[in-house]
Chains A and B, each alone.
Chain A
Amino acid sequence: MAATADKSVIEGLIKQNGTTIGAVLGRGSVGVAEEGSDGKMHATVRIPMDELIFEPRVLVMPHGGELELEIINDDNNSHCAVLPNNGDAKFIWLVNFSKGRASLNLDGPGYYWYGSRTGNDEGGGLTGTIVVGGEVPDEAKLDRPPQPRP
């Protein structure tokens, strides 16, 4: 058994030098990419000042496909991003107060991590998640009656 954490402990998990040294991965805000008229999904993630996180920390693509991502570094330190993409990862260097773009192709369903591979940005909190929803195409599914899911 473990005692329930109080509010300050929980809030300290998603900030720098709070409960621990960095921001614990996988916790924080959730955003959803928007479907564009171009058939692609679009979203923006930011690196807020002194927070060492991608905001939103979890970005949801409703289904597999193309994602046009804008990445903004609002921090007064340099970071980068190695982003998942079919064929090869995408890399962008983000100096202090910079803005860039990435075109990504991802299968769904499933989720992917990305991060800033400089210093230990990744461990400090600069590791984000791209969640891809949806189902596989019908032709890839098993020929069997619908089965119970958790």
Chain B
Amino acid sequence: MATETEYVDAGEAVDFRILSPGLVGSAPPVAKGVNYDRILKGRDAESHNWLTYYGAYDGQRYSPLDQINTSNVKGLSPAWVFQCGSVGMHSGASTYSLEASPLVVDGVMYVTGFDGWMWALDAKTGQELWRYHRASPYDVRLCCGNVNRGCAVAHGMVFMTTLNAHVIALDATSGKLVWDQPYGDVRAGESATVAPLIVKDMVIVGSSGGEFGVRGHADAFKLETGERVWRCYMVPAPGEPGSETWPDDGETWARGGANCWTTPTFDPDLNLLYFNTGNPCPDFDGGVRPGDNLYTDSVVAVDPDTGQIKNHYQYTPHDVWDYDSTMENILFEMDGRKCSGHFDKNGYFFVLDRTDCSLIRVVPFVDRITWGEIDADGKVTPRVFPDKEGDPVHFWPGPAGAKEWTHAAYSPKTGLFYCPVQDVGATATRRRREFKESIPYWGAGVAVDTEDVSGYLSAIDPATGQERWRFRNQFPMTASVLTTGGGLVFAGDPAGIYRAFNDSSGDLLWEFNCGSGHHSSPSSYTVDGRQYIACPVGYGAWTEGFFPGALAAPGGSAIYAFALPE
């Protein structure tokens, strides 16, 4: 051991980021003027930007941009690529994946990665402007991988959730922390992966942890200060409306699930948030929770000013197949009615009247459905489910569903929905277990099929429920769809292939191998008059759930920006 005088002074540890060549350190103050009003009008008034998670509050994932169109898309190629890699030992080291939807404000891209990363990039060149890296506990409970689905921008700040269930606000020019609010209990198995949503003067988030027997909730915070506005539990406490759908003895309600781990859509005229809730707990053992188990597997319409539940529709009452309904409820108009469209894990496409969440139409959108049946009136008849201890039961769709959380799109030009479909079954064997906080609480052993699986991209007419066209893929389709004013539909697959289709005919017009599978939500924008398609790539997450045949697929962590030649 050296004596005190012999030690060399190594100084103070520095921010790791300063050792990254090319990192600028700040971004132009473009986000300062982004507010609720601009987000409300954003898609039409400033279509060069992608200001909020779905591109607009209605969740359509539609960009009016048409520079890239059916006649020239064959010339599309990468304009730049940003790669982030993986540093040191981090949680879910084998499961990290890029799942975000990049936001773009006047030439600056804000995008999150796995493991607490957030970047501001020059949307024209891909140059890194600033970075923020939240330290994430190695042991945080993650059912479905080390992932994050994106951020929100307003009032000069960028908002994201962290794996250990904080919502944080960063200065959009410097990337420095402005405020930090924990809103989940990691010791209970809670985490956070949702992209926040700005509504009025609030930032709206939800919790993850539905596989650990938590009580799902959505939360609203003042966007300027992080002060809590409300919390809305998605499983009612005894005595509250809906509590009659849970056993009136015991504490199953307290472990009931119904997490909100994807971003809600929002109707400003009706002043309603449409939350999408997850599975009940335990996922597969319904014997311990007789009843419909509200508000699991539901769309829940919530007043954003009060956090009060106004309406709901339950897509899978008393779910015993892990059929979360966390996938989006897309808002659209049909025959003068305010509607919402939702492709559920259970394999059915629901069209609701969103004023009261009443059913207009329900039709299957995947070929193989054996778990049960939903008739035209919405009556649910379960047929195959794991109800006997130790008895394996096979059913379609598997627990990742006929469509996972990755989002469908709707084109107001064609009036069609475009849905990424997974035709994958699974076998579940009920295994009742005692509940212990933070321990997975499934109530079954589950093995998802590795053979006889496939997928497709389907164009579906909500007016009839009929499929207009289908692109059949060798593999399940596990990434969000994007549709544009150029008459295009973009969709990626697990093998890394990114494709563009004619939105009316389904003709394949372009494809590019990104080198790693797609499990994100691409967006579109323009800078200096040039249109880009931004596409995060990097396969991982809950692969064993939606496509175990891709567990050994090449990993990756890149953001591609595609454009036409200048």
Contact = CB atoms under 8 A, between A and B. Distances in A.
Contacts of A143: 215, 233, 237
Q: Is the interface of B mostly helix, strand, loop or mixed?
A: loop
Contacts of B233: 143
A102 B13 contact: yes
Interface string A92-123: 11111111111101110111111101000010
A111 to B, nearest CB: 5
Contacts of A111: 137-139
Contacts of A85: 135
Contacts of A100: 9-13
Given A98-B7, A98-B8, A142-B185, 18 more contacts: A73-B10, A87-B15, A87-B133, A92-B11, A93-B10, A96-B8, A99-B7, A100-B12, A100-B13, A102-B13, A106-B135, A110-B137, A114-B88, A140-B184, A144-B254, A145-B251, A148-B435, A149-B436
Given A49-B1, A86-B134, A88-B131, A142 B214 contact: yes
B437 interface: yes
Interface of B: 1-2, 6-17, 19, 87-90, 131-140, 164-166, 176-177, 182-188, 190, 213-215, 217, 228, 233, 237, 251, 254-255, 434-439
Interface of A: 49, 71-74, 81-103, 105-107, 109-115, 117, 122, 127, 132, 135-137, 139-145, 147-150
B251 A137 contact: no
A89 B434 CA distance: 39
Contacts of A83: 13
Contacts of A49: 1
A107 B90 CA distance: 15
A134 to B, nearest CB: 9
Contacts of A71: 10, 13
Contacts of B8: 95-99
Contacts of B165: 136, 140
A90 B15 contact: yes
Contact of B13 (A91, A137, A144, A148): A91
Given A82-B16, A107-B135, A112-B138, A89 B87 contact: yes
Given A74-B1, A87-B176, A110 B138 contact: yes
3 tightest Cβ-Cβ pairs between the two chains A and B: A110-B137, A100-B10, A102-B13
A29 B434 CA distance: 34
Contacts of A99: 7-10
A135 to B, nearest CB: 6
B15 A88 contact: yes
A116 B134 CA distance: 20
25 contacts: A71-B10, A83-B13, A86-B177, A87-B177, A88-B16, A89-B88, A91-B16, A92-B10, A97-B7, A99-B7, A100-B10, A101-B11, A102-B12, A103-B13, A106-B135, A107-B164, A112-B135, A113-B90, A127-B89, A136-B184, A136-B186, A140-B184, A147-B254, A148-B434, A148-B435
Contacts of A98: 7-10
Nearest to A25: B89
Contact of A103 (B12, B138, B213): B12
A135 B187 contact: yes
Contact of B133 (A89, A92, A109): A89
A84 B139 CA distance: 14
A91 B14 contact: yes
